[in-house]
Amino acid sequence: MSLLELDQVSLTFGGLKALWELDLHVDEREIVSVIGPNGAGKSTVFNVITGVYRPTAGDIRFAGDSIVGLRPHRITSRGIARTFQSLRLFLNMSVKENVKSATYGHTKASPPESILRLPRARREEREVDALAEQLLAFFGDRLQGYRWDQPAYSLSYANRRRLEIARALATRPQLLLLDEPAAGMNPRETHEVTELIVRLRDELGVAILVIEHDMHVVAGCSERVVALDHGVKIAEGSYEEVANHHAVVEAYLGRDPEALAES
C-alpha cells in the first residue's frame, strides 16, 4: 500500500478542468517529482492533497484512509506538511518562533497551565524548543546560532526557503510537499537544495513530493517523475524516461514543425 494515493482525482471550476482523472501515488520514503509547464496544475495537486480544494471527483487516501473533505489542519495533523511556492513565513516572528508555530496543532497544555507555567506546560515548551533547534540544525550553519532570534524578514531569500522547510518539518510529517524549493536560488544553492531533499528522506524518513522547474533538482533527487499538462498526467517514470517522452517535450516546446507538417 502506498503512503499517498490519488485515485482518479478531478477538480473542475465550471467548465475548466484544473485536474482530470489523475492517478498519483507516493510510497513511504520515496521522492517523487511533479513537473509540467506553467498552469499545468502542479500546485493544484498540492492544494487538493492538503484540503484547500475539495476534489470534484475521485478519492485521496493517506496511509490507507480517505482524507477527502477533511479540513487542512486535520490533514496536517494526519502527517502531511507543505511549503509554498510564494513564501509564507510569519515575517514578524523570529526564526525559532516560526518553527515552533508548527507545533501548536499538537501541544496539550491549556491556557491556565501555560500562564502559570505548570509542569506540563514547561515540559512541552522544552520539547518544542529542542525540536525547533534540532530541525534548524539540519540546515548546517545556514540557520544557526544568532539567527534563531532574528525576525524572519531579516533572512535572505534562500534562507527563507530553508526556514519554510524547517517549519513544515516541525509538524512531524510522514509526507512532505515541497512547492518549488529551488525557485529563485543560484546554482550553488540549488545544488544544496537537491542534497537537502535526499538527506531529509534518508535521515528523517519522510516521503517527499516535490514540484520543481529546475531539472538539475529533479534529476538529482527523484526516484520517479510525473509530468502534468493541462491537469492531465502525460508521462510517468524515471527522470530519463519522462524527460525524453515525446508528450513532455511537446508540452514544453510545442510540436516539432516537421512532424506537424507530416501529419
Partner 1 sequence: MHELLQTTVNGLTTGCLYALIALGYSMVYGILKLLNFAHGDLYMVGAYIGYFVIQWFGGPNAVSIPVPLLLAIMVLLAAVGVGVLGMAIERFAYRPLRDAPRIAPLITALGVSFVLENTVLLLFGGFTRSYSTPTFISFNSGITLDGVRIDSVELMIFGLSFAMMYGLHQLVQRTTLGKSMRAVASDREAAEMLGINVDRTIALTFFIGSAMAGVAGVMSGLAFNQISNTIGFLAGLKAFTAAVVGGIGSIAGSMIGGLLIGLCESFSASYVSSEYTDLIVFGILIATMLLRPTGILGQKALQKV
Residues making contact with partner 1 (CB under 8 A)? 50, 52, 71-73, 76-77, 81-82, 84, 86-93, 97, 100-102, 104-107, 109-111, 114-115, 117, 153, 157, 160, 167-168, 170-171
The Cα 19–Cα 55 span in angstroms is 9
Kindly tell me which of 135 and 232 has the beta carbon lying closer to partner 1.
135
What percentage of the chain's residues is helix, strand, coil (to nearest 5)?
Answer: 45, 25, 30
Helix axes 157-169, 119-137, angle to 10 degrees: 130
Grid look-up 501548536 returns 104
In SS3 terms, 145-177 reads as: HHHHHCEHHHCCHHHHHHHHHHHHHCCCCCEEE
CB of 114 to partner 1, least distance (A): 4
The nearer residue to partner 1, 109 or 204, going by C-beta atoms, is 109
CA–CA distance, 188 with 190 (Å, rounded to integer)? 5
CA 190 – CA 186 distance, rounded (Å):
6
In contact, 220 and 199? CB cutoff 8 Å: no
Nearer to partner 1, 183 or 247 (CB): 183
Which residue, 164 or 192, is less far from partner 1 as judged by CB?
164
Amino acid identity for residue 164 in this structure: E
Q: How far is the CB of 168 from partner 1 (least distance, A)?
A: 8
Least distance from C-beta 121 to partner 1, angstroms?
Answer: 8
The least distance separating partner 1 from the CB of residue 117, rounded to whole angstroms, comes to 8
| Residue placing its CB nearer to partner 1 in the complex, 111 or 145 | 111
Q: Minimum distance between the CB of residue 183 and partner 1, rounded to whole angstroms?
A: 11
In the complex, the smallest distance separating the C-beta of residue 17 from partner 1, rounded to whole angstroms, is 23
Select 182 or 235, whichever has its Cβ closest to partner 1.
Answer: 182
